[in-house]
Structure 1
Amino acid sequence: MMLIWIIPIFIFVLYGQRIQLAVTSGEIKKGIKKLEDYKTKSRTELISYIKKNMNPAEDPTKKIDRFLDYFTIMPVDMDPNGIVGKVRHIIRAREDYTREHVKSLSPQTSELELTKIQTLLEIATTLQMIHKVINHMFLTAKKQNNYPLILPLQMILPFILEEAEAMHKAIPAFKMGQPIGDGIGPMVVGKMMLESKKESVAFQTVLGETQHDQRKLLLLKAEGPGSTVGRPGDAMEIILSKNKPDIIIMVDAALKMEGEDSATIAQGFGAAIGGIGTERFQIEDIATKNNIPIFAIVIKQSVKEAITLMTKDIADKADDVRSQISEMIHDNTRPGQTVLLIGVGNTMGIPQ
């Protein structure tokens, strides 16, 4: 009778890790298969969209595949002094390079189509990189029969899949030029500048000026309706060289926490802007040097909501946000002062 209990224990002691590895591997394989599907479909849709909308003289497949394998090497950060400027230089050089080479497929392509294709290319590139990294981690752990090595992968895979699925589902919105959840900031500011005179103040960034409650209101957003976030940091430098605002208000989308309701509005302090941090650093640096307080209003949403077609719940919050902006301006400035209002986010499908 004792033998019946001893044998399973003996087997588990000797082969327990391999059994766990086999069970876990099955789950991870399913996730990797999904990532591979997302990668393949995003590539196919990108190439199909380019062929249909750019009418390139030659088959763009080889060139697109070369783009998908591009990588970016971040600067050495052993000495952090000046690292932000280096990162900004490399990122912008990559953006400029990609833009010019995509345009070379069909020089007559409009700026709107160019921004959409750039975004689709970024999505496809990111999905390919995610699949490569996750697959590499899995194969390495399996090759060495190393269960502890596969555990971190098992833990992070659901989060990776959530983001990958969101990116894959974002493709139709960008192809059709529809607003996404991240565009709520530009939507709010864009509507406020509809009747004002606008000028291009920085690369893919526009500035409008109007009066609000006896205050001068400077309105800044990325230039729509293309798929771009503009360069608000550069725009701020130019604006402050001519007209110093008394306060800065930034409106942006923000990721909600689990348990929070989507489309809720929150107010705070500091530069509300995402990305790798170079734009935020630039804005904070300018504000600090000029002693300008920065206020923030964010509209909370999930990862999926942020990069897919804007939901009605989020779009309906635009009027509430404008109301809170008016209240914030009234409470923190006096008549005759100047306010810089920045709509942060991707302005796809949102004019001004």
Structure 2
Amino acid sequence: MISDIPALVSQGAFSEDNILGWIFQLAWILIFVVFMFYGQRIQTMLMLKEIESSLYRLKMMRDKGREIVISTIKETGKPDEDPTPRVDRFLEHVDIGPVSLDPVGIIQRLEHLMDVRNTRFKDEVRLMAPHADETQINNLTNVLEAALALNQIYKSIRHYYLLGKKTLSLYIIMQLQMILPLVMKESEAFANALRAFTLGQPIGDGAGALVAAKLMYGREKRRIAKDIVVSKVPIDGRTAYVLKAEGPGGKVGKPGEAIKEILEENEGKVSMIILIDAAMKLEGEKLGEVAEGIGVAIGGPGVEKYKVEDITVKYKVPINAVLIKEDIGDAVSTMRKEVFEAVNVAIERIKRLIHERTKEGDTVIIAGIGNTIGIGQ
């Protein structure tokens, strides 16, 4: 056997090229073994690193939102004491939903909790900013809600990040990594919303309110429900009750209650209801694209939507919807040009619907749904 070594050497088995080849083969075998036994752990650590980077960005957005809230309150409300401790307490606010084991009456219970929440928020803002007027109070409430949302998102992501890091559970970490792009997109939208709310600028979600504002401009208005105003507007020989949240403060009001009141005032003699609202666009759809449909176009937890559905079933009134397509980022940030231009398209669609589906002398209801910040009437 030993006598064969000179022959192997003479044949080049241990030449320089072959030695390099053996080294590369051994390296690949070593890498394969490492990945076979530690691949999942390495993958987990890489995903944790990616999540950690996003978590840092979320923390920056959360902290910036908090700073904006405090500086805006100091500038607008001119408080006698530092509002920081009260703001920090507010950012830890928790909403507890009604019990759903027995669904009977859940809408009324949910509405009650929402009313309590809204009252509590505005009372807190009045204490933080004692010199702010009503419009500023509504806008500051929106600013605080955006900051609250950022804080809750950050804490939720941090919770699952730390839980995944603690347990090294690939399934927890993988699920968190999968939803992170959507979470970051939503968080960036709320971060951008802070500027619009602080300055009192119209936002994309106010597209429906802007449609109503244009239709009722120059007409006499009256309050029909909480934070909702209505005007009688003649359109093509029909009488249109046009309603929206009372601006220019950041309000959404109770459009369902308003529609119910108008229907009962007219004893159900309404030919059609048209609701205009912003709708989430799909990827590939154009911003500001206008679509038509049927049903109650009111977002949120569903209380106002339920009221409209309930009363329209009673009086058998058809419901039509005109939707302006937007992304989540467009909906809560300063209204973009495409959305503003889509408002005129939506008005033309409304007039066409009224002309084609009602007769002269009929009564219709047009409800502009959405946050009316920066939009008067």
Aligned mate of 1:119, from 142, 146, 151: 142
Of residues 260, 268, 271, the one that matches 1:237 is 260
Aligned partner of 2:60 in structure 1 is: 37
Partner AA of 2:149 in structure 1: T
Give the corresponding residue for 2:298: 273
* TM-score of the superposed pair, with normalisation by structure 1: 0.97
How much is the aligned-residue C-alpha RMSD, in angstroms? Answer: 1.3
Q: How does 1:131-170 map to 2 (within 5 A)?
A: 131-170=154-193
For residues 149-228 of structure 1, what are the structure 2 equivalents within 5 Å? 149-228=172-251
Q: Which runs of 5+ in 1 are unaligned?
A: none
Task: Give the Å deviation of 1:153.
Answer: 0.4
The aligned counterpart of 1:343 is 368
Residue in structure 2 matched with residue 315 of structure 1 by the alignment:
340
Between Structure 1 and Structure 2, whose CA radius of gyration is higher?
2
Question: Which residue among 293, 313, 331 is the counterpart of 2:318?
Answer: 293
Q: Is the 8 Å Cα contact of residues 212 and 368 (structure 2) preserved in structure 1? A: yes
Distance in 1 of aligned mates of 2:90 and 2:339 = 34
Question: What's the counterpart of residue 251 of structure 1?
Answer: 276
TM-score, normalised by the number of residues in structure 2: 0.91
Hey, what does 1:72 align to over in structure 2? 95
Give, in whole Å, the separation in 2 of the partners of 1:289 and 1:4. 77
Write out per-residue CA displacement over residues 75-130 of structure 1, whole angstroms, 9 at most, x where no aligned residue.
11112222222122112211111111211234442111001100000001010000
Q: Which residue does the alignment assign to 1:305?
A: 330
Shift of residue 283, structure 1, vs aligned partner: 1.3
Residues in 2 aligned to 1:84 and 1:128: alpha-carbon distance in whole angstroms: 28
For 1:336 and 1:282, locate their aligned partners in 2 and report how far apart those are by CA, in whole Å: 26
Distance, in Å, in 2 between the alignment partners of 1:75 and 1:14 is 49
| Secondary structure in 1 matching 2:324 | strand
Residues 234-281 of structure 1: per-residue CA shift (max 9 Å, x gap): 212222221232210001111100011111110000011111212111
Residue 53 of structure 1: which of 54, 58, 76 is its match? 76
Amino acid across the alignment from 1:87 = L
CA–CA separation in structure 1 for the residues paired with 2:224 and 2:28:
77
Structure 1 distance, partners of 2:37, 2:328, is 43
Question: What SS class does the counterpart of residue 300 from structure 1 fall into?
Answer: strand
Cα deviation for residue 224 of structure 1 reads 0.8
Displacement of 1:3: 5.0
Give the aligned partner of residue 38 of structure 2: 15
Q: Distance in 2 between matches of 1:5 and 1:69?
A: 52
Runs of 4+ in 1 over 3 A off after TM superposition: 1-6
- Asked if the contact 2:147–2:194 (Cα under 8 Å) also holds between the matched residues in 1, the reply is no
SS class of match (1:346)? coil
Deviations 1:28-69 (CA, angstroms, capped at 9, x unpaired): 111111110110000000010000100111111111111110
C-alpha offsets along residues 147-187 of structure 1, whole Å, 9 cap, x if unaligned?
12111100100000001001101111111111111111111
Unpaired segments of 5 or more residues in structure 2?
1-21
Distance in 2 (CA, whole Å) between partners of 1:27 and 1:4 is 28
Q: How many residues align?
A: 352
CA distance in 2, matches of 1:262, 1:23: 36
1:202 alignment partner AA: A
Find 1:260's aligned residue among 282, 285, 290: 285
Structure 1 distance, partners of 2:128, 2:59, is 27
Q: Distance in 1 between matches of 2:240 and 2:305?
A: 21
